[in-house]
Each structure stands twice: as C-alpha cells, then as structure tokens.
Amino acid sequence: MVDSMRRFQNKTTISTFIAFCALFSVFLCDKSLANEHKARPSFDCGSIISITQTVICESPTLSALDFELSTFIDGLRQLLTRTQYLVEARTFVAKRDQCVDNIDCIEKVYESRIWRVRSRVGDVSPIEGSWVNDTYANINIVKLGSTYRLNGFSPESIERYCSDGQDATIWRSGHFDIWDMKKDGFTYSWNNECEWTFLISNEQLAISASRGCIETDELFLGSYRKGEPSDLEYVCFDR
C-alpha cells in the first residue's frame, strides 16, 4: 500500500493542483504501473521512427501505458469505420509525438487517451472517475492495468482558507490490486489501524472509516456524487 498525506499552504499552489486534477481526474503519476506491467510497447522498438518512440521503449512506465492502450484497440475498431479509426489513431500519435522526449507529457497523453477509449468500449466501472461532496473534497478512482489508483484531497476548512489563504489541503493517494475491487465497492487500508470503506449505490459513493483512523480522515467521509473538483479561488470569490 502507498500512503501519503501532504499539506499545501500556498493558495496558488492549491488552485493549480485542483485545476490539474479537474483536467486529468486522479490521473496523478504513480510509477507502480511499471512494476506491475513488465510489458513491451505495441510497436517494434527495433525499428523506431521517432524520438518519442525511443523514450517510450526506454521507459517501463510508458511501455506499460502503450501496451495498456493496445489492449482496447480491437474493441474500439468495432465502434468506428476504418477511416474514423485511422484519423483518431493519427491524431493521437501526432499529439503524443509533440511531447518529443518529455516523459510527463507523454504519460499524460497516454492516460487521457486510455480513459477515453475505455469509456467508449464500456470498460469503465461505475465507481471509477471523479467524485465530489458538499465540503469541496474530491476523490478520484481510476484503473490502469491490474491496478486501481486512489487519490483524494480536501480543504481542512473552506472558511479559514478563504479568510487568510493559509489553510492546508489534505491529500491522500494510494493504489490497490483489481482483485480487491468488489461489485459494489472496496475497502482500502491506509495502515494497520485505519481502513476506508467505499460503497456505491444509486450513483452515489459513500465513504466510511474504521475507528483507528485520525481526525483528518473525517474530512473525506460521507456521500459523494460524480463531478469535477471546484476551484477554491472561485469558491472564495463568490463567498
């Protein structure tokens, strides 16, 4: 299990982080994918034709992402004409190659593409995606390969944050195996004493915690609905 809790004290940093999450939903970088998927990319590394392909072949993480994307191509072909598929594929490759040798850029392009393709072929489970509650907490759950990524953040107090700009944001992130995911949710252990239980019903996500959790865990408990996280700058502006 991966467990992290960070505090962002700078108001601009928090807004930037939230905007990033809104665009890429929990696709926050986690190198565990490379460890779990020892896969080669879908193209032949022996006949590389671009700088970007060279970078992909040299990176276990990017190779795994390319392999992951290739597993959904047959399903996508069933939904598109040959011309539509080729246009989409060429557009993706062109966007990917614009990153040149920027690994973070390439990774984001792949993750965004995988999410869209999985959504179209019906591979996304109901619990995946971005979830928000009435106190501006956000939870993101996304599957890549045999791993689910779990990310969340919440302001300690929106009132204090808006009044002095010094409030902290609590951030949690972790990952777990797909075998731990049940039909209606899952349980995630942050440590030997604290567990969160995620249950989905009627398009609502409910999070509860065990007695061993700490006070800041309570910021994430309760009912969530599907949605993108709010920009706290705008929230404060309207108050």
Report the alpha-carbon distance of residue 187 to residue 168 in Å, rounded: 26
Mean predicted confidence (pLDDT) in 20-28 = 41
Mean predicted confidence (pLDDT) in 140-151 = 90
**Identity of the residue numbered 116:** R
Mean predicted confidence (pLDDT) in 121-134 = 92
Q: Would you kindly state where each structural domain of the chain is located, as residue ranges?
A: 4-22+125-237, 32-120
pLDDT of 11 reads 44
pLDDT in tens, 211-237: 899 999 999 999 999 999 888 888 887
Rg (CA), the chain: 19
pLDDT in tens, 57-101: 999 999 999 999 999 999 999 999 999 999 999 999 999 999 999
* Residue 125 or residue 163, greater confidence: 125
Q: At 166, is the pLDDT very low, low, confident or very high (cuts 50, 70, 90)?
A: low
Token pair in block for residue 208 = 């509860």
Backbone angles phi, psi at 155, to 5 degrees: -70, 145
Mean predicted confidence (pLDDT) in 151-178 = 84
pLDDT of 38 reads 56
Token pair in block for residue 79 = 């939904």
